[in-house]
A = this chain, B = another copy of it.
Amino acid sequence: MARGRPRKCDPEDVFDKALTLFWKKGYAATSMNDLVVETGMAKPGLYANFGSKDDLFTKALRHYFDRFLSTLGKEFAEADAPIDVALRTLLLGIVRASKGDTLCVGCFLLNTVVETTGTPSELRDLSREMGERRRKMLRDRLRRAVLAGELRQEANVEDLAQFISGQMLAIAAMASEGADRPTLERFAENALAVLPLARAA
């Protein structure tokens, strides 16, 4: 096994570094040369392993979003915690992800959605679709909470999901604006303060 010249770089490492750079600089501002410097893999290697710049970016965004779904998302959607606890965990998780110590600042998905708003493209469609999946995750969980009697029967699940989705975006945007972590955590708490209005008596 492993015939031929051995690899210099682990493609997974390269992929992670590429994702990080795209996250930091965005699609347009990141050149293939930047990626070569950052990852240590020469250009033909990048194309052989990941396809075009567009392909690589798309894969990176998908990976980023899948990771969100399988960690914070899964925890939120599946855990048995009461709805208010689940929502608090989710928002504080977003704070941690948006302003981690070692990671990038902000949200890769929001960055992409903003960068691609102006012109129709597959990337724009993809990033918007991810937003829709996020809202669906919220709706499903909130609906469960209504059925479980945690939220009022008349609670507007659609609007509530949109509201929480907006708070997630707000946290990422404020992180990009330079807000520090305590500020974001207080914001999350204040955002959760509307919840009692929907809670069952």
A→B interface (CB under 8 Å)? 23-26, 28-29, 104-106, 110-111, 113-115, 117-119, 128, 131, 159-160, 162-163, 165-167, 169-174, 176-179, 183, 186-187, 190-191, 193-194, 197
Q: Count the copies.
A: 2
A97 to chain B, nearest CB (A): 14
A127: nearest chain-B partner, CB-CB = B177
A117: nearest chain-B partner, CB-CB = B176
Partner of A173, one of B23, B105, B173, B178: B173
| 29 interchain pairs, CB-CB under 8 A | A25-B118, A25-B119, A26-B115, A28-B28, A29-B115, A106-B114, A106-B117, A111-B117, A113-B176, A114-B115, A114-B173, A114-B176, A128-B178, A131-B177, A131-B178, A160-B190, A162-B174, A162-B186, A162-B190, A163-B187, A163-B190, A166-B173, A166-B187, A169-B174, A170-B173, A173-B173, A191-B194, A193-B194, A193-B197
